[in-house]
Structure 1
C-alpha cells in the first residue's frame, strides 16, 4: 500500500468525500495495534526502526545535501549526516533505553544525578547518558531543569509520560513537518508516539518531498502496522488536515504566522475570531516556532587562539544550514568596554567571511536578506553577497535585527556597556526583553571569568528565559542531543504563542520541563588542557571551519549505525586532523 499522497492529490474518497480517508482508516487500525503492544514489544519495534534508519542513512544524507545545493564533495555536506540520521539514531537509542527501563519496573531517572538549580528548581544531569557519550561529545554535559513548582518526587512519579500507561487507548495526531532540518519531522513523530501515545499522520514540508521515499524506507516498521502515514502537500493540504475531525492533537514546527493561521484563520476572519475569543482550531496544539537567538559574549582575557576559535564558533551558529535554522544565532551581544572587542570583531569578520560558500536555498530567504540590507545600508555583504554582517553602533537602532527572525545568513552585532557581572546581567535582560522568542540562547565565557563571577553566573543563566541554553556551545547541539528537551521557555499561549508551546525530544520522557542547559569546552584540544573543560576534539565536526567535517560526520553516523570500534577509531583519527 502506498503511504504518500502527491502534492496535487486533492481527490476526495468516493464514498466519504474525505481525501484522507484511507490514511485515517489505517491509523485507526494502527492505534489499536499500538495499544496492544507491551513496553518490551515497543522497544523491539524501535530497534527495528533503528535498523531501517541505518540502512537508509547514506541515501538520507546524500539526498538532503543535494536538495540544499551541496555537491558530493562540498566540505559542509557532513551537516546532513549529523542533523538527519545521526540525531535520529541517538533519539531511538534513548527511547529504547527508557522503554526497557520501564519494562523492568524501573524509572527513566534511575541512576541520573539529580540536584538543585537556582530558585529551588530540580535539575537532572542527563548527559552524558552512556560512557560513549563522553567520546562522541567530548567535554560536553547537559542538564534538564524542571519548573520551580516540580519536586523530585513529582519528577520521579511522572517520568515516562504516556509509557507509564501503555495500555491506554491511543489517539490520532497530526504532525506538520519542518522544511529545513530533515530529522525534525521524524523526531516529532517519535515524540508524539512515545510521549503522547498518538499514532501519526505526518505531512512533510514541500522542501522535503524528495526525502519521502527515504523516510518510507527508514520508518517502514512504523508504517507497516499503521502507526504512521506520510502525505505530501502544500499549504492548502495542511490547512485541510488541521480541520480534519479524526485528529485529537496537532504539532507544528514552523513560524508563528503559520501557527496563528491554523488557530485563528487569516485576515478579517482572524481578527474577528480573536476579538470574540473563538479560535478556528478547537483541539490542542503544540509548536516549535523559532525566534531571534542571542549570542552573549562575556568579556575576559582571551588569547588570540581563543578569539579565533570563538569567532568560528559564532560563524557556525549563524551559517550552519546557510542560516535556515530556527536556532541560528542572530544577534551577538558584546561589551563596549571590553579591551579586546575590536580584536574580537576582526576575528569574527574573518571567520564569517571565510567560511565555505554555499547556496542560500530556503524559500524567500533572499528576500529577507534584501530587507535586512535595506534596513541597514552599512551592512557588509560577504562571500559574494550570500551573507550579511550588520554591526549596529546604537542598540536602539537594532529593532529589526531583534524582532525579525531572518532565517537566512544575516548576523548582527550590538554592544552594551559594562564588564563582569554588570555586563552579563545587562545582556541577559536585553536578550529577555528586546529579542523576539524564547527558544535558545548561547553564552560564551572563559573559565577564569566564570570563576570570578561564581554564583552570579549561574543566577544569570537561571534568569535567561529560554528553553535551551548553551554555555560555550551552540544550541543546535542541544537540538541534536536528544536526551535533552527541545522547545520554547514555558509561557506560550494560543493568543501569544512566542516560540511555541511544549517540548519534544526528551528521550527520558520527563514531565514539568522548564529548560535544558548544555555546557561545552571553552577551548578545543590540545588547548583544552589549559582549562575551560577538557575535550579530545580539536574542532567539532559541526563547525563550518572544520577541515574534516564531512568525513568525521559520516564516520560518527556509521559508528552509531553499527557500533564498530574500528569505525570509531578511524573517525577519531580523522577528527584529530581537524
Structure 2
C-alpha cells in the first residue's frame, strides 16, 4: 500500500535536513566547553518548562491534575531529562580537561567481565536513592584500561562529526525522544532530526522551548506527521543513521518493508533501508521470584512492586513486566499470588490512552478465556498456568497493555534459579529487561548460584529487588537490549542509549535495590533508608515527590533535600 504524503510535509522535511547539514558544520566547530554550556542551558530550560511538560503529558494520558499518578510524568519526564543533561554536562567537562569520564570510577569483576559502578554517582544519589546501586558490565575482553581510554565515544574527537541522524520518537514515555536526541548528538556526534510519534505531538511546543539552544544552533530539528513522514525521513539521502523506539513490527516495516515485498527482501538479504539502524524495541519482560520465607509485610510490598512493574504508565512501557516466573513448590506461592491479585485490582484506575490497548486486552482474553479480569472495570488481566515454552503466546507477544501472566516451575533452590534463567532466556521474546525479587538471606544461601543466575540472563538490564525502570532513570547506566541482535532478528533492538559516561562496548546494566522499604529495611539488617519508591503505583505522594525531584534534577542543591525526603516519607 502506498501512503501519499502532503507536499507541505515533504518540503518541511527537506528544509529541516538541509538546515541540519549546515548545522553540522557549526556543531563540528563547537568546543567541548561550549557544548557543555549548551547542555546546561537546556537543563535550565527543562526546569523552567517542567510544569508545561507535565501538563501536556497528563493531557495526552487523560490524568487528572489531582491524581498521584501525575508523579509518573514528573519522574519519567522532566526529572530524568534534567538528570541526564547534568550527567552529560559533567562528562563533557571532564573530556574538555583531557581526562576520562571513568578516571574516578570504581571497577569490579563479575565472572569474566569487568564492571563499572555507575550508581550512586555522587553524594546526592547516595541520599536520594539510598540502598540502590547499579553497575555497567562491559563486554567480554574489555579491560578497565581500555574502558577508560575509550570512554567519551565520539566526543573524543568532537570536530569529526558523523552526519545527520533521524530519531523516530516513542509514543509512551515522554522523555524517551529528547533523551535519544541527546545520545545521537553527544555519543555519536550527529546532528538530529526528531520526528515525534503522533501520540506525543502535543509535546512539540514543550520540546521546542527546552531544546531551543540546540535548535538555534542548527543541530536539532523537530518534525511531526504520520508513517509517511517517518518513511520519507529515514529514506532521505541526507540522513546517515536512523534510531527508533517502538515495536519490532514497526522496525521491520521500516527496514524490510511490508507484505510479500518484505518476504522477498528477507530471502534475498536486501533490506529496504540500507543505512545503519539502532533501536530500542521492548519485548516480553519477566519477573523472577525466588522462593523464601517472607513476612506478610514483605508479601504485600513485593506484590505492589509487581503491580508497579506491570501497571506503571498504564502498562504501556517497553520494559513492563508481562509474566512472573515463580516456584510451584514455594510454600507461600498462593499467598503471594493472592496479594498480587489484590495489588493489581487496587491500583488507581486510569484511561487506556495508548491506541489499541482495549483490542490487545480483548485479544489476550480471547487467547486465554480462563483469564481473570481485575480492576474497577475489569481492565487488568491475570493469566495463570502458563507453559514455560516459546509456544506460549503470552511469552512471545508484547501486549503493551495491563496483561500479566504467571509461569510456575518446579524446585526451590539452585535448580529453580537455573530453570528460571533458562525459561527467561529461551521462552520469552526480547532481551530488554528482567527483574528478580529475592529476600537477602535467599541470595546469601544461593551464593555462587545467584551470581550464575545474573550472569546467565541475557538481558540489557537486570534488576534485583528493583524494577528495571530504575535503570532507565539512572543517566549513567546504559539502556538497551542485550548485545548481539541484528536487523534479521532484532528482538529488543540494537545499541544502547543514556550511558552518560559514554562507555564503549557495554553488555548490560545490573541494578540492585532494597528488599524492604525503610524503616523495615533497617529493622531487618538492610542498610537502606529509602521509603516506598515514588514510582510505585500506590504511592500517595508521588505527584509532590516527583515535582520536587524534577526541580532538584534541574538545579541540584542541599537545601532541596529536606522537602523531597518529607514528601517521600509520606508516600
Band of TM-score, shorter chain: over 0.9
Structure 1 residues 234-253: Cα deviation after superposition (integer angstroms, max 9, x where no partner): 01111111110001100000
Confirm whether residue 131 of structure 1 aligns to residue 123 of structure 2: yes
Q: TM-score, normalised by structure 2?
A: 0.97
| Conservation of the 8 A alpha-carbon contact between 2:522 and 2:529 | no
Q: What does residue 114 of structure 2 align with? A: 122
Q: What does residue 382 of structure 1 align with? A: 374
Confirm whether residue 439 of structure 1 aligns to residue 436 of structure 2: no
Indicate which of 137, 143, 146 corresponds to 1:151. Answer: 143
Deviation at 1:10, TM superposition (A): 2.4
Deviation at 1:64, TM superposition (A): 0.2
Distance 1:477 1:385 in 2: 29
Structure 1 residues 243-290: Cα deviation after superposition (integer angstroms, max 9, x where no partner): 100011000001111111111111111111111111111110000000
Q: What does residue 239 of structure 1 align with? A: 231
Moved more, 426-435 or 270-279: 270-279
What SS is found at the alignment partner of 1:333? strand
Distance 2:387 2:116 in 1: 40
Change (3 A) 1:259 1:218: same
What SS is found at the alignment partner of 1:542? coil
Q: What does residue 3 of structure 1 align with? A: none
Q: What does residue 457 of structure 1 align with? A: 450
Change (3 A) 1:152 1:564: closer
Matches within 5 A, 1:62-77: 62-77=55-70
Deviation at 1:533, TM superposition (A): 3.7
Q: What does residue 220 of structure 2 align with? A: 228
What SS is found at the alignment partner of 1:504? strand
Indicate which of 504, 511, 514 corresponds to 2:507. Answer: 514
Distance 1:551 1:536 in 2: 19
Confirm whether residue 10 of structure 1 aligns to residue 6 of structure 2: yes
Confirm whether residue 409 of structure 1 aligns to residue 405 of structure 2: no
Q: What does residue 98 of structure 1 align with? A: 91
Matches within 5 A, 1:81-230: 81-118=74-111, 120-230=112-222
| Conservation of the 8 A alpha-carbon contact between 1:61 and 1:81 | yes
Q: What does residue 249 of structure 1 align with? A: 241
| Conservation of the 8 A alpha-carbon contact between 1:446 and 1:532 | no
Distance 1:47 1:508 in 2: 16
Deviation at 1:19, TM superposition (A): 4.6
Q: TM-score, normalised by structure 1?
A: 0.96
Q: CA RMSD in A?
A: 1.5
Distance 2:469 2:364 in 1: 23
Deviation at 1:377, TM superposition (A): 1.1
Structure 1 residues 105-138: Cα deviation after superposition (integer angstroms, max 9, x where no partner): 11010111001111x1010011111110012212
Confirm whether residue 556 of structure 1 aligns to residue 549 of structure 2: yes
Distance 1:398 1:325 in 2: 23
Distance 1:177 1:291 in 2: 17
Confirm whether residue 365 of structure 1 aligns to residue 378 of structure 2: no
| Conservation of the 8 A alpha-carbon contact between 2:341 and 2:374 | no
Confirm whether residue 296 of structure 1 aligns to residue 288 of structure 2: yes
Q: What does residue 4 of structure 1 align with? A: none
Structure 1 residues 461-485: Cα deviation after superposition (integer angstroms, max 9, x where no partner): 0100000110000011111112100
Deviation at 1:170, TM superposition (A): 4.0
Confirm whether residue 40 of structure 1 aligns to residue 33 of structure 2: yes
Structure 1: stretches of 5+ with no match in the other structure = 1-6
Q: What does residue 341 of structure 2 align with? A: 349
| Conservation of the 8 A alpha-carbon contact between 1:447 and 1:532 | no
| Conservation of the 8 A alpha-carbon contact between 2:287 and 2:436 | yes
Structure 1 residues 435-484: Cα deviation after superposition (integer angstroms, max 9, x where no partner): 00000000001010100111221111010000011000001111111210
What SS is found at the alignment partner of 1:122? strand
What SS is found at the alignment partner of 1:415? strand
Moved more, 289-298 or 128-137: 128-137
Q: What does residue 419 of structure 2 align with? A: 426
Deviation at 1:562, TM superposition (A): 2.9
Q: What does residue 251 of structure 2 align with? A: 259
Structure 2: stretches of 5+ with no match in the other structure = none
Distance 1:279 1:181 in 2: 29
Distance 1:562 1:184 in 2: 21
